[in-house]
Amino acid sequence: MPASVSAYAAASATSPLAPFTIERRDPGPHDVVIDIEYCGICHTDLHLVRNEWTHSRYPIVPGHEIVGRVSAVGSEVRAWKPGERAGVGCFVDSCRTCESCCDGEEQFCLEGMVTTYNGLERGTQKPTYGGYSKRIVVDEHYVLRIPESLDAAQAAPLLCAGITTYSPLKRFGAAPGRRVAILGLGGLGHMAVKFARALGAEVTVLSHSGRKREDALRMGAHEFVVTEDPKTLAKHAARFDLVLDSVSAPHPYGPYLDLLRRDGTMAIVGLPPRPEPLAANSLITNRRRLVGSLIGGIRETQEMLDFSARHGLAADVETIAIAQVNDAYDRLARGDVRYRFVIDLATLT
């Protein structure tokens, strides 16, 4: 018998999140049952709840920054025991046989990853529901080990904001001797600052106002630049090896590409809801590269969690009760969060 589980869902793009009951499947032989303790609020949750990317399915139970404790395991599971701390990120299944899956890049599964919410289960085609809920059942291959040295609430945002920034920083060369700029100091951006610093790069934060200067420096940035004034930005032209763009709102790419030195790379992780024109000249000059990056595979996510524990890194969080979630969304939309809301699921009864 599938179990009824308390959750919070939005019924439509204009409905607030409200109490809702979902069913979680009985654990199959390879499933892990996780009682959820904390779930981060990613800006993707807001984009999807409000259907800003136009492919939302309702009712929608968001949440893909999940940390909890294993409460039961399937008969074939050897790697997990009840009581252990476990995490779930942005996807819960994939085909496991395609080139991307075999390379440990399940987020690019050729049959499509099954997202933790707003997706459809392989086989049953039932909707997937995320971490704004008391419990989740996930195949062991997609469950992450959260080091016990990390605070559970502060670790939750690593499952999306952490891996989404760690992966492109490593791949595109955040390292000693490299100048890295982080555009947008939000949930993703503040993790990017911490990782870029831990990887040994010289780190600059590009923020649209001066309000986060002290925070940025405290997090490890060497420099802070306000992007509002084009003249200030122009002073930093052709300076950086890597710009990581984590901005959620529509913005032009040209002024930030212009900050790249010869052979520099701008990596986009922010996903604003509308396309942006691009002048070829910004790329041709200095032979610049513009790339995108999508979360990261299971293997790299585990590497990032272990790296975080080794370096004592985690998110700056504001823990909230589930009843505050709609206020938190309004604040997130306004950019009023320092730097990730995390829901304490003990408050969902």
Residues of this chain that interact with ligand NAP (CB under 6 A) are 42-44, 47, 160-161, 164, 184-189, 207-209, 212, 246-249, 269-271, 293-295, 332, 335, 337
Q: Does 95 bind Zn ion (CB under 5 A)?
A: yes
Residue 95, contacted partner among Zn ion, ligand NAP, none, CB below 5-8 A by kind: Zn ion
The nearest distance, CB 105 to Zn ion, in angstroms, is 9
Q: Which of residues 45-84 bind Zn ion (CB under 5 A)?
A: none
Site for Zn ion (CB under 5 A): which residue of 94, 118, 128, 302? 94
Q: Which of 72, 98, 217, 290 binds Zn ion (CB under 5 A)?
A: 98
Minimum CB separation of residue 329 from ligand NAP in Å reads 10
Q: How far is CA 250 from the centre of its chain?
A: 19
Which of 8, 20, 34, 44 touches Zn ion (CB under 5 A)?
44
Residue 270 CB, shortest distance to ligand NAP, in Å, is: 4
Residue 208 near which of Zn ion, ligand NAP, none (CB within 5-8 Å, type-dependent): ligand NAP
Token pair in block for residue 78? 């050897």
Per-residue CA distances from 179 to 60, 162, 203 (Å): 40, 20, 6
Give residue number: closest CB to ligand NAP: 186
Q: Which long-range contacts (CB under 8 A, 24 or more apart) does 197-203 make?
A: 197/221, 198/307, 198/311, 198/313, 199/169, 199/170, 199/174, 199/175, 200/174, 200/175, 200/176, 201/169, 201/174, 201/175, 201/176, 201/242, 202/177, 202/178
- Identity of the residue numbered 216: A
Q: Which of 309, 318, 314 is nearest to 340 (CA)?
A: 318
Rank residues 155 and 269 by Cβ distance to ligand NAP and give the closer one. 269
- The three-class DSSP label of residue 293 is coil
Residue 162 binds which of ligand NAP, Zn ion, none (CB < 5-8 A, kind-dependent):
none
Least CB distance from residue 272 to Zn ion, whole Å? 14
For Zn ion, the closer of residues 39 and 193 by Cβ is 39
One-letter-per-residue 3-state SS of 197-242: HHCCCEEEEEECCCCCHHHHHHHCCCEEEECCCHHHHHCCCCCEEE
Residues 266 and 246: their CA atoms lie apart, in Å, by: 11
CB of 249 to ligand NAP, least distance (A): 3
For Zn ion, the binding residues (CB under 5 A) are: 42, 44, 94-95, 98, 101, 109, 160
